[in-house]
């Protein structure tokens, strides 16, 4: 049970990463690798601030803003200085590696026995249960601390999901979604598509950094290496979400990204339980994304060969 709650919690936290990438990758069609750096930025900044005695909420908010700034710079590199999108992302990601080391002062900061954004929720749970340390969920004992993180992640994630859906349905959000679809059309409607790209990348990386801040608080440390491969993980989650419930409509797409992330974390937890070497995890994920990107086309040509071919024979 602990394993499942844990996978669910990480899934919920990382779904903010997926939502961020949904904006960059799917809506403005920008392959943004800044993500690998900005998730660590969120984690390292919030960890340092919390260790310095700041409120975890304020630290998390600042992490969001720092991530937005990073995304904004990537956007400016691409739009203002005409650097290819992948390269703009790589430049920012590389710069962030040093920046993150500067922020932390070393490569790893442990966050033990510090207050987190779920501390308040945990206190509330303890009061409600009358001081029990563990609670039975479907007959399994689960520690209140774990339950508190799970609960607060669930609330936060739902809230952000709803806010994002509503935002993307506004006049501004509608143009944002059109920007990746047809920038020429967006310009013809009187909107500077470059500004939309910069704003979208800021929002996207803000969400990613937020996810990083929550992740650091949950796992109890921030590490300068923690962002490596995160972009591919987010991508895998988005693809699973789309396969799971499709992409008809905005609400469906956003729910899909969240559910996809949770399912992906569950699959990983199960695979690790069955003895998958954790070192192989990123290779397996990369292979999965490769297959997910390639198979739809392959299925089409295969069915053409089998069905189309036999019909004409």
Residue 152 near residue 217 (C-beta atoms within 8 A): no
If one asks whether residue 252 binds another protein (CB under 8 A), the answer comes out as: no
Q: How far is the CB of 80 from another protein (least distance, A)?
A: 13
Q: How far is the CB of 187 from another protein (least distance, A)?
A: 5
**Toward another protein, which CB reaches closer, 194 or 219?**
194
What is the size of the binding site for another protein (CB under 8 A)?
23
**Toward another protein, which CB reaches closer, 43 or 239?**
239
Residue 237 DSSP symbol: H
If one asks whether residue 265 binds another protein (CB under 8 A), the answer comes out as: no
110: enclosing H helix or E strand: strand 108-110
Q: How far is the CB of 207 from another protein (least distance, A)?
A: 17
> Per the structure block, which two tokens stand in for 218?
């949950």
Helix, strand or coil, per DSSP, at residue 306: helix
What part of residues 218-247 is at the interface with another protein (CB under 8 A)? none
- φ and ψ at residue 113, rounded to 5 degrees: 55, 35
**Toward another protein, which CB reaches closer, 78 or 177?**
177
Residue 22 DSSP symbol: I
The interaxial angle of helices 35-51 and 193-219, nearest 10 deg, is: 50
If one asks whether residue 30 binds another protein (CB under 8 A), the answer comes out as: no
What part of residues 160-219 is at the interface with another protein (CB under 8 A)? 166-167, 169-175, 177-178, 181-182, 184-193
The interaxial angle of helices 56-79 and 193-219, nearest 10 deg, is: 150
Residue 249 DSSP symbol: S
Binding-site ranges for another protein (CB under 8 A): 166-167, 169-175, 177-178, 181-182, 184-193
């Amino acid at each position: 049970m602990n394993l499942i709650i844990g996978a669910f919690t990480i899934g919920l936290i990382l779904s903010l990463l997926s939502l961020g990438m949904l904006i960059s990758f799917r809506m403005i069609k920008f392959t943004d690798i800044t993500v690998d750096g900005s998730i660590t930025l969120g984690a390292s900044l919030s960890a340092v601030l919390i260790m310095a005695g700041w409120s975890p909420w304020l630290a998390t908010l600042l992490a969001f803003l720092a991530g937005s700034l990073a995304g904004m710079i990537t956007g400016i590199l691409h739009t203002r200085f005409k650097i290819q999108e992948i390269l703009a992302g790589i430049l920012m990601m590389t710069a962030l590696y040093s920046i993150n080391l500067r922020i932390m002062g070393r490569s790893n900061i442990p966050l033990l026995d510090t207050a987190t954004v779920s501390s308040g929720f945990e206190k509330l749970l303890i009061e409600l249960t009358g001081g029990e340390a563990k609670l039975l969920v479907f007959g399994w004992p689960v520690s209140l601390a774990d339950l508190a993180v799970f609960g607060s992640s669930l609330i936060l994630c739902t809230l952000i999901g709803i806010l994002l859906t509503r935002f993307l349905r506004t006049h501004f959000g509608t143009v944002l979604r059109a920007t990746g679809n047809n920038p020429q059309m967006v310009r013809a409607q009187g909107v500077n598509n470059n500004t939309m790209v910069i704003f979208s990348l800021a929002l996207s990386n803000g969400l990613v950094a937020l996810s990083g801040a929550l992740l650091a608080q949950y796992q109890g440390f921030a590490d300068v290496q923690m962002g490596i491969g995160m972009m591919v993980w987010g991508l895998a989650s988005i693809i699973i979400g789309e396969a799971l419930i499709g992409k008809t409509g905005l609400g469906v797409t956003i729910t899909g990204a969240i559910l996809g992330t949770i399912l992906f974390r569950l699959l990983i937890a199960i695979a690790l339980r069955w003895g998958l070497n954790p070192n192989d995890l990123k290779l397996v994920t990369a292979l999965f994304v490769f297959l997910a990107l390639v198979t739809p086309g392959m299925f089409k040509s295969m069915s053409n060969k089998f069905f189309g071919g036999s019909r004409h024979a």
